[in-house]
Amino acid sequence: MDTDQNSSVLKEGFLVKRGHVVHNWKARWFVLMPDKLLYYKYEGGKRGSCQRGRIMLKDCVITCPFLEYDYRPLVIRLQTQSCGEHFLEACSREERDEWAAGITAAMTTLRLNDAPPDNQSEAAPPKSLGLHNINLSQVVDSMYDIHSGIRMTSLTEQCSTYSNCFSGSSVVDWLVFMQLVLTRVEAATLASALLEEGFLRPLGFRSVEALRSAGLSQQFLDDSTALYGFSDSFKKRGSVKPEKTLSAVELAGKVVKRGYLLKQGHKRKNWKVRLFVLRSQPGYLHYYDPSKFLWPDMLFVLCLIHFLSGVTCQDDINPAGGFSLRGCLVSALDDNGVPSGVKGNVQGNLFKIITQSNAHYFIQAPTRQEKTDWIEAVRGHS
């Protein structure tokens, strides 16, 4: 972001946004300006270089709280002048109300000043293509089917040969032939969603460059020279996962702190936005994938029901991970340079938690103050 833009920032932080075309939920970094909300993809500890869109606030209507999502009680709805709806979820009621107050104040100022329309006002969002009820996982399962799925072969681009791949146009052909969509435009949009979710990966210069530079709806190329393949992680989906159990006792404690933080993965070392929830008596720190539908406040009730009925909690109601705070060590990390054990482009505000079993968790907070608050909270319950 440039200097002028930075000077006009009213509020910034993580919110979870529902997609326009495919109604999945994604954590995004939001920046509130006097006349608009900008949102960014936040990867590797860096923000600002990958803007995903903007929401113009002139003549916008805000609904807070928006209570039509049973398992998402902290949603704000914004309805723009172009009749586009945007659904944003905060990590707590306090955070939701702060965002709503900031957005409302900005809209009030715009009305009072009778500001002229922005020359770069948000274009009308694409009309729904009827894709929001499509299960992306089922689509890619069908693509991978040995009998009726898409045919994989070896293809060459710019003197490089790629095995087990397919062209963009063949994917579009297959989606239309299987009647998953009606038009090639819808097929390309659906394929872009599969790319965004990591089910497919680009192969070769053309597809990689499109993914890097194009907007979300144009990331996938309906072209015979653009090459794609299934992601490496998809090939392992058939393997048996070890059974996971979660004691209802872990979730019985009182929630004393929650918020969006960046966590480094243990294996791939990539950074992901996670909703962290700290509970006391007993002291546990759990983290959740914010794109999932189940709100953590309801998790204990469901796990208790399963526990009393003799059934273990299933993956769809489990946190993504967590650990007991008993005996944990937490320390701030120097933001100058990349500390040992940390990978990727780090934004800063780092801290580390070492559990009693010697597992190391590297975490980034959005601000220095939040970093301090989280360190104090963990120390107070370890």
What is the separation, in whole angstroms, between the first and last Cα of the chain? 39
Angle at 1 between CA 221 and CA 195, to 5 degrees: 20
pLDDT of 378: 92
pLDDT of 305: 47
For the entire predicted model, the pTM comes to 0.59
Contacts with 365 (C-beta within 8 Å, 6 or more apart), sequence order = 261, 262, 349, 351, 371, 374
**How many CB atoms neighbour CB 15 within 10 A?**
25
- Beta-ladder partners of 261: 274
Nearest to 173 by CA among 154, 194, 157, 149: 149
What's the Rg (C-alpha) of the chain? 22
Low-confidence ranges of the chain (pLDDT < 50): 1-4, 115-116, 120-129, 236-245, 300-302, 304-316
pLDDT of 244: 42
Is 333 within 8 Å of 352 (Cβ atoms)?
A: yes
Helices assigned H by DSSP within the chain: 3-7, 93-113, 136-143, 168-177, 184-196, 205-213, 299-308, 368-380
Tokens at residue 255, please?
Answer: 């929630």
Q: In order of start, what are the domains of the chain with their CATH numbers?
A: 3-113 (2.30.29.30), 136-236 (1.10.10.10), 248-380 (2.30.29.30)
User: What DSSP string runs through 80-104?
Assistant: -TTS-EEEEE-SSHHHHHHHHHHHH
pLDDT of 37: 92
**How many CB atoms neighbour CB 313 within 10 A?**
22
